Structure 1
């Protein structure tokens, strides 16, 4: 005679924050592949949860899409990579390296925003208007990247024509606009030209005196 069959152990429950992250990451992956044709049913299948679970975590699909933009804009890894660029390298080399780091990040953010705009997700239009617009999380992520870019200009602080944060913001805006261009190609030689233009100006042999006289 055999004894009673031992009961099956239940898998440990997932914390609300971990479940939220899983849903967002599953949605991001599907948006990149299918755009806004993604349904909550498909998201649920990808995340191996019930569709009702999604609406226990998010009030509606718009809130989920907002969370996807915020997740795509997270900049922790970018900030760490920018901090690893040696400050004793020439300034042009530093900015070219920084641009390379930012390309993947800005392409990731831009791809998600483009899909949301194409589907008429209203709040996404504010994200593309300016890096400072949109949700608090997105704004803070962009601000942290700009601050890291400004830190790369520290060795030249005394000789800069504008404050380092202003130059860093202009550089960030230029790179972001570049990745939104339909003809954008990553790692294009133009990237080096953009950095050279930023560092040396647009006039051959220009001087600070000439620049001051034009103000």
Structure 2
């Protein structure tokens, strides 16, 4: 008896495009415009012709990948997942790490692709939304803040952005812990007693 196997259903066009874009972004970060459709196809595990059926040409794919890379929605979603019950120091550290990853990726993409490769469709303003998300995470600690939470968020963004640009930090790199302490205590403030004790113990080791 001959056993019949059903053929796998082809992916919807949108899903196939997403898969190809996910594969091309790291290649663009590494090779820029020099990346070939064969390299993209190999990375995505597809035939080269599939790229042209999904996007028409390489340039359309590149533009779609850059637009995805600049999309702020994934960052906002990650920030919104920060647990407000975490210690304040941990929340500040997570915000800095997420922002540095975001800005570092943008700076790197622009350096290899050129400043003219921003998405064609303008990204709507999201600064107030970002500030609101961070403010929500910091809400349980408002009594510890010297600034309104909505004003703290832009300050953290400014620090994260400036420390994500290699030319600004190559000579004097800063760790995430150092930036977290700076956000919380500036250059003359005093940490909470338990943090000060932990820092002293770590230094003594």
TM-score (norm 2): 0.65
Question: 2:175: which partner in 1?
Answer: 187
Instruction: Tell me the matched-pair count.
Output: 184
**Once the two structures are superposed, what CA deviation does each residue of 1:103-141 show, in whole Å capped at 9, x if it has no partner?**
334333433333222xx6x133xx8xxxxx97438x55x
Question: 2:52: which partner in 1?
Answer: 55
Does 2:133 align with 1:148? Answer: yes
Choose which of 145, 159, 171 in structure 2 pairs with 1:174. 159
Structure 1 residues without counterparts, runs of 5 or longer: 128-132, 206-215
The structural deviation recorded for 1:84 is 1.9
Structure 2 residues without counterparts, runs of 5 or longer: 191-205
- Aligned pairs for 1:57-206 (under 5 A) are 57-58=54-55, 60-72=57-69, 73=71, 74-75=74-75, 78-81=78-81, 83-86=82-85, 89-90=87-88, 92-117=89-114, 122-124=116-118, 135-136=122-123, 140=126, 144-155=129-140, 157=142, 163-182=148-167, 183=169, 185=173, 187-196=175-184, 200=186
Distance 1:204 1:149 in 2: 22
CA contact under 8 A between 2:21 and 2:61: conserved in structure 1? yes
CA contact under 8 A between 1:85 and 1:97: conserved in structure 2? no
The structural deviation recorded for 1:38 is 0.6
CA contact under 8 A between 2:20 and 2:40: conserved in structure 1? yes
- Aligned pairs for 1:11-26 (under 5 A) are 11-26=8-23
CA contact under 8 A between 2:21 and 2:64: conserved in structure 1? yes
Name the SS of the counterpart of 2:10 in structure 1.
coil
The structural deviation recorded for 1:42 is 1.9
